[in-house]
Every structure is written in structure tokens, then in C-alpha cells.
Amino acid sequence: MSKILIDTNIVIDLLAKREQFYNSAAQLFSLADKQKLELSISSLTFANTSYVLSRLKSTQEAREILRRFRVLIKVLQLNDKLIDLALNDNNFKDFEDGLQYYTAIENEQDIIITRDLKDFKESKIPVMTADEYLVSLEQ
């Protein structure tokens, strides 16, 4: 079973139902619900998603969405080592992307799914969009 780190933008696509990106995100999470793949997110993603949802919904609605979402994913912890690696890696212009990358590496994830491919040019593991990953499953 593939172990996949899901970037924050994909999680928000799903939970905020971003029209253009929702369907592919929903398909990914449906596969996880059917236990065909293992989806993980960093603890930072959980916090950032909570913040975004609380701007779009009431606090109570946002928490309920997150409670239901939580059963689909494994939350990977950040630690001093990952923060230091991201801080000292000049390949990542976006610090948050560096945290995502090193979280994936440290937790032996097979793939990173994101919409920000350009931010992961130096990745040592495959990085794909949700659409690209879903197409790869069909082949």
C-alpha cells in the first residue's frame, strides 16, 4: 500500500470544496477510505487547515469537519530535526514546503501530493498533483 503525504493545499481543496480541485482531492480520500492507500499529513497541515476552515465556517462547523476528516488520515509530527532541516535547506523558497518535504522523508512516505510542484524540484521522492497520481493508478 502506498504511503502518501498530502500537502496542505490538497486538504483544503477537499474540506473547503474548492470547485476546480475538489473532485481529484475527493477521489484520493475515497481511496484512503477504502484502504487502498495510506494518506498522511503533517501536524502543521492540520493546524493550517483548521485556521482556513475557521475563516470560512463557524468554529463548531470547522471542528466537526476536522473530526470527520481525522479518521481518514495519519498525522505526522514535526520535531526539532525537521524544523532544522527545513530552515537550512535553501532549495525550498517556501519554508512550509520544506517542512512538508522533510516530514515525508523522515516518515518514509512514497509520494508527496501537492499542487505546488515547482516548490519540490529537488525532491528525492516522487511529487505529483492529485490528478497525475490518479492517472498513474489507471495505467
Domain boundaries, the chain: 3-134
Kindly state the average pLDDT of the residues 1-9: 94
Q: What is the pLDDT of residue 122?
A: 86
Kindly state the average pLDDT of the residues 16-24: 93
* Separation of CA 103 from chain center: 11
H-only helix segments in the chain: 8-15, 22-33, 43-56, 59-70, 80-87, 95-106, 130-138
Q: What is the pLDDT of residue 119?
A: 86
Burial grade of 37 (CB within 10 A; 0-12, 13-18, 19 or more):
middle
How far is CA 57 from each of CA 50, 61, 64, 104, rounded to the nearest angstrom?
Answer: 10, 6, 10, 30
Q: Which pairing describes strands 127-128 and 38-42: parallel, antiparallel, or unpaired?
A: unpaired
Condensed to tens digits (0 to 9), the pLDDT of residues 82-105 reads 999 999 998 888 999 999 999 999
How far is CA 3 from each of CA 8, 49, 59, 75, 133, rounded to the nearest angstrom?
Answer: 16, 21, 31, 12, 12
Pick one of 3.40.50.170, 3.40.50.1010, 3.90.1580.10, 3.90.550.10 as the CATH number of 3-134: 3.40.50.1010
Condensed to tens digits (0 to 9), the pLDDT of residues 106-117 reads 999 999 999 989
Condensed to tens digits (0 to 9), the pLDDT of residues 28-77 reads 999 999 999 999 999 999 999 999 999 999 999 999 999 999 999 999 99
Q: What is the pLDDT of residue 101?
A: 97
Q: For residue 103, give the C-alpha cell.
A: 516530514
Q: What is the pLDDT of residue 8?
A: 95
- Residue 138 pLDDT greater than 90, yes or no: no
Contact 100, 8 (CB under 8 A): yes
